[in-house]
Amino acid sequence: MAPRRVAVSGLGVISALGHDVASFWNALTGGRPGIGPITSVDVSNIRFQNGAEVRDYDPAQHFEPARADLLDRFAQFALIAARQAIRDSGIVFTPELSQRTAIVTGSSVGGQSTQDAQFLEVYGRHSPRVHPLTIPRIMPNAGASHISMEFGVSGPAFTVSTACASSNHAIGQAFWMVRDGAAEVAIAGGSETPFSFGFLKAWEAMRVVAPDTCRPFSRDRHGLILGEGAAMLVLEPLERARARGAPVYAEIVGFGMSSDAGHITTPSTDGPARAMLAALRDGDINAEAVGYINAHGTGTANNDSTETRAIRQVFGAHAERLAVSSTKSMHGHALGAAGALEAVATVLALRHATLPPTANFTTPDPECNLDVVPNQPRRAEVEYALSNAFAFGGLNAVLAFRRPDRKG
Amino acid sequence: MSDELAEKVQSVIAASKRIPRERVSLDSTLEDLGLDSLDRLNLLFALENDFNISIPDEEAKSVRTVREMVEGVRKLVTGASGATSAA
């Protein structure tokens, strides 16, 4: 089968910026961060106090009590985002289509809050047992499994775990499956809920979390801000989406991967650069045609300067004409869900010809001398955009998107 | 007493990086001793445990030499009551 053009025809998001796509996009283009004091965990004995939490969330509004018992918070978010994306796409799963639909999700740590609470029972309280649903709640594939069960989608389904690149790897695999005909439709994205005491202590020990807020590319940046949430995208052949009158938010046109083969936590320039080049090559895209990059942009000293060098290495003189922003400044670093949230941000930037800014930016850094769209959104017709994700462990994944055709 | 503290910090550095104690002098830089970013995290973890202190991120970042690390630990040990609010 000849490669098919692949459309993004449905979107779903739950994040610190709100519980749906509209609130996500409004906050992003308003430059309004969802970062504030962490309330779901007692952080009085943790060196950082701020995070990007999903606020005003009531599981009872989304799940019957018996169902909620089965679902860690991360799987709940995965389901909520998938419901939105499927409804948005208007897709109807006939028995034939169900078997030809793939689900690929990303998660770095799965049901972390369940693990934390249940292990506390045996280690801390010396309880003789943990809850019998501990394993099915913790498993990082729980999101994919529950999506498949709720919608009766019975094609290939799996979960990718590559730390902060998880959902870019997931969306990229799903894209390739649809492009090559291994699946007719795919539901792809990621989900993460890192706010549990033990996991926050582990991040404290890494000393990369900012005490204030996330200021990517700004000279006074002090690290990342952890975020939670989920985002899902419906992918299907462009012709199919058009034929049934579905929304076409953008095309997904390229996917590139690489590994640094270097240090377990310090990023290289070469690995990310090769992943960007691979995405361009995969989509047969001229570097000069790229107008926007949604950066990995974590706000750590190392990432942002290294990513700047990698972008300059790939784009040369064209780097001067590229807009590069980090929306982590607003939705936080959602780890295994980061790529999915940022894919939605990138797709909407193309669709609405509006680039979300890098919020919380105060002072230019010579080490990060790119056009980072500081603080204010920008109107810009962009044909191609990249979305970067570079994981601890040196595993890099880059997605390339193209704006929807103006007509038809 | 102060020498005792300096001696202990240097021993912790040597043990943490798995290098001979005699390689660690007050004038060594952590870079000279081959500590990368993860080695620094391991060292801070060991110092926090051995001295029962909490070392703030920003102060940890600015340390370049063994002497600076000794003085930083000394400050936290002697002012231990104030250290926990440093976050």
| Among candidate residues A143, B47, A382, the one with its CA nearest the CA of residue B56 | B47
Q: What is the pLDDT of residues A104-143, one digit of tens each?
A: 999 999 999 999 999 999 999 999 999 999 999 999 999 9
pLDDT band at B87 (very low <50, low <70, confident <90, very high): very low
Work out the average pLDDT over B69-86. Answer: 76
Same-fold call for A6-243 versus A254-402: yes
Q: Give the chain B residue whose CA is nearest to the CA of A208.
A: B57
Question: Residues of chain A with pLDDT > 70: what percent?
Answer: 99
Could you give the CA distance from residue B7 to residue A408 in angstroms, rounded to a whole number? 75
Domain positions in chain B are 2-77
The pLDDT, as a whole number, for residue A407 is 53
The DSSP bridge pattern shows strands A290-294 and A323-325 to be parallel
| Among candidate residues A139, A135, A74, the one with its CA nearest the CA of residue A337 | A74
> What's the complex ipTM?
0.82
Instruction: Report yes or no: B31 at the A interface, CB cutoff 8 Å.
Output: no
Catalytic annotation on B36? yes
A169, A222, A296, A331: the catalytic one is: A296
Q: What is the pLDDT of residues A321-374, one digit of tens each?
A: 999 999 999 999 999 999 999 999 999 999 999 999 999 999 999 999 999 999
The pLDDT, as a whole number, for residue B85 is 42
Contact at CB, B38 and A264, closer than 8 angstroms: yes
Is A6-243 CATH 3.40.47.10? yes
How many residue pairs bridge chain A and chain B with CB atoms within 8 Å of each other?
A: 31
Q: In chain A, what residues touch B63 (CB-CB under 8 Å)?
A: none
pLDDT tops 60 at residue B2: no
The pLDDT, as a whole number, for residue A75 is 98
Token pair of A27 as six digits: 């906050």
Q: What is the pLDDT of residues A18-71, one digit of tens each?
A: 999 999 999 999 999 999 999 999 999 999 999 999 999 999 999 999 999 999
pLDDT tops 50 at residue B86: no
Is A254-402 CATH 1.10.3110.10? no
Could you give the CA distance from residue A234 to residue A190 in angstroms, rounded to a whole number? 12
Domain positions in chain A are 6-243, 254-402
Work out the average pLDDT over B37-48. Answer: 95
Angle at A374 between CA A371 and CA A376, to 5 degrees: 120
- Are B16 and B81 contacting, i.e. CB atoms less than 8 angstroms apart? no
The pLDDT, as a whole number, for residue A405 is 87
B3, B27, B32, B36: the catalytic one is: B36
Could you give the CA distance from residue A251 to residue A237 in angstroms, rounded to a whole number? 9
pLDDT tops 50 at residue A208: yes
Task: Give me chain A's average pLDDT, please.
Answer: 97
Q: Which residues of A sit within 8 Å Cβ distance of B?
A: 46-49, 205-207, 211, 222-223, 263-266, 302
Read off the DSSP letter of residue B84. G
Q: Which residue has the tokens 């926050």?
A: A200
The top-level CATH class assigned to B2-77 is mainly alpha
Collapsing DSSP states into helix, strand and coil, what is residue A129? coil
Q: Give the chain A residue whose CA is nearest to the CA of B84.
A: A45
Instruction: Report yes or no: B3 at the A interface, CB cutoff 8 Å.
Output: no
